[in-house]
Amino acid sequence: PRKTHWTKDVTPELDGKEVILTGWVWDIRDLGNIKFILLRDREGIIQLTVKKGVAPEGVWSLTQSLGREDAIAVKGVVKASKIARAGVEVFPSEIHVVAKSKALPIDIWGSVETDLDTRLKYRSIDLKRPINSLIFRVESEVTRAIRETLYGRGFIEVFTPKIIVTSTEGGAELFTVQYFERAAYLAQSPQLYKEELTASLERVFEIAPAYRAEKHNTNYHLNEFISVDIEEAFANYMDVMDVLEDVIISVYERVNKVFSNELAKYGIEIKIPKKPFRRITYDEALDMLSRRGLKINWGDDVPKNGLELLSEEFNEPFFIIHFPTDLRAFYTKPLDSDPKISESFDLVIGGLEIASGSSRIHIKEQLIEALRKRGLNPENFESHLMVYDYGMPPHAGWGMGLYRLLMVLLKRDNIREVVLYPRDRFRLEP
């Protein structure tokens, strides 16, 4: 039988109505002549009340052998109740055990969670714990909000290849794949394709996996992650920072609207940021950090502890803009007034780099020059450079790490918690 309602939609207004519910036995409370069965589905938990002598005999006897996590289908009548969870209970007229469950290898009920490695080993079981599945319901709503905001600003969604032949973000971090008779790579980002597409589709976005063969094993790096990318024609870095602000704010607003009650149960509060976000230059960031005792040489990236200090100081999302040109990838446009620095930015939230972007070089000779300066061979970029001969518009864009955004939104310390099946240096299964 198919469910007629999700547990969360069984409200006191349905008093007296018959419903069909499906899900798993979360818990059973046995009071002798009365049993309370808590039924969990993706959206919540509801109480089933079975009274001896009142419930059909078959239902009563079945409850004797019911165990936690058995998958069940229930037909029953809703009753508004002052004492039950969410003000309702359901009196079953039928219960069908669809599949029995063995004892679980990890605890999903207690207040102390199993260590993360073991949880990930048993990920599908781990997701039975409501807080853990909530993370992925939030993720789905986050990508929906991102899509809607970008559609609203004239972007269309595109899909570019993940098996490619040229490095886009620097050579060292590529996974090689055997592609029939030749070697290919897994895409580190959709960078070159999204730029090429501005010459026809103008405003594009993509939400897709990106692959980095980075060896670091940190709490905020993975070897496969979801990158949210945009690219906009006839635009510069300021324009796309504005788009990024809208995207971030819409995400916070949406998650707050849909999940604030559920998240509050876990002490997670969503603070919606205001536009425009603070913008500090790379030089200003170095000055501020130097005053706090952290010396960074001009030309080096701002390290994680530097981002943390700045986030502590501002306590809100902020941009660092105008990075040294040499720090950024070859396609980044230098400032006309000072080519040592670039029309680039990073978005930082909660001490984490969430997104980075820039205006791009759109003049072929300059792009060839930039490739050469980084020791890259322009001949390897021929199919990309060709596009620049036929009316390549000025353009700008950014890439955002979806999992990093979820980490700060849901205040999780480890990126693996917000990824269904993370891929890191040591994890290729499940």
Binding site residues, ligand AMO, CB under 6 A: 169, 189, 191, 212, 214, 221-222, 225, 227, 229, 353-358, 397-401, 403-404
HSE (CB half, 13 Å, CA atoms) of 185?
Answer: 20
299 is in an annotated binding site: no
Termini Cα distance of the chain? 31
- What is d(CA 206, CA 193) in angstroms, rounded to the nearest whole number? 11
Q: Give 114 or 356: the residue with its C-beta nearer to ligand AMO.
A: 356
Q: How far is the CB of 61 from ligand AMO (least distance, A)?
A: 52
Q: How far is the CB of 412 from ligand AMO (least distance, A)?
A: 13
Q: How far is the CB of 330 from ligand AMO (least distance, A)?
A: 11
Phi then psi for 220, rounded to 5 degrees? Answer: -135, 15
Q: Give 214 or 246: the residue with its C-beta nearer to ligand AMO.
A: 214
278 is in an annotated binding site: no
Q: CB neighbours (10 Å) of residue 52?
A: 13
13 is in an annotated binding site: no
Q: Which residue is nearest to ligand AMO (CB)?
A: 401
Q: Give 72 or 146: the residue with its C-beta nearer to ligand AMO.
A: 146
356 is in an annotated binding site: yes
123 is in an annotated binding site: no
Q: Give 224 or 284: the residue with its C-beta nearer to ligand AMO.
A: 224
353 is in an annotated binding site: yes
Phi-psi sector, 209: left (phi>0), alpha (psi -120 to 50), beta: beta
Q: CB neighbours (10 Å) of residue 262?
A: 17
In the sheet with 203-211, reading across from the earlier edge strand, the strands are: 156-157, 203-211, 224-233, 395-401, 352-359, 344-349, 318-321, 278-281
In the sheet with 182-186, reading across from the earlier edge strand, the strands are: 163-164, 182-186, 176-179
* Amino acid residing at 277: F
Q: How far is the CB of 383 from ligand AMO (least distance, A)?
A: 18
Distance of CA 401 to the CA centre of its chain: 7
Q: How far is the CB of 107 from ligand AMO (least distance, A)?
A: 29
- What is d(CA 17, CA 139) in angstroms, rounded to the nearest whole number? 33
212 is in an annotated binding site: yes
| Contact present, 278 and 314 (Cβ < 8 Å) | yes
- What is d(CA 72, CA 338) in angstroms, rounded to the nearest whole number? 67
Closest CA to 12 of 75, 79, 74, 76: 79
Residue with tokens 């419930």, as numbered in its chain? 55
Q: What is the 3-state secondary structure (H, E, C) of 27-67?
A: EEEECCCEEEEEEEECCEEEEEEEECCCCCHHHHHHHHHCC
Q: Give 130 or 399: the residue with its C-beta nearer to ligand AMO.
A: 399
Residue with tokens 């007229």, as numbered in its chain? 93
Q: Give 63 or 359: the residue with its C-beta nearer to ligand AMO.
A: 359
Q: How far is the CB of 119 from ligand AMO (least distance, A)?
A: 19
The DSSP result for 271-289, as a single string, is: ----SSPEEEEHHHHHHHH
18 is in an annotated binding site: no
Q: How far is the CB of 4 from ligand AMO (least distance, A)?
A: 41
245 is in an annotated binding site: no
Q: Give 95 or 419: the residue with its C-beta nearer to ligand AMO.
A: 419
Q: Give 60 or 345: the residue with its C-beta nearer to ligand AMO.
A: 345
Q: Give 49 or 344: the residue with its C-beta nearer to ligand AMO.
A: 344
* Amino acid residing at 225: F
Q: How far is the CB of 222 from ligand AMO (least distance, A)?
A: 4
Q: How far is the CB of 103 from ligand AMO (least distance, A)?
A: 35
Q: Which residues define the annotated binding site for ATP?
A: 212-214, 353, 401-404
Q: Which residues define the annotated binding site for Mg(2+)?
A: 353, 356
Q: Which residues define the annotated binding site?
A: 169, 212-214, 353, 356, 360, 401-404
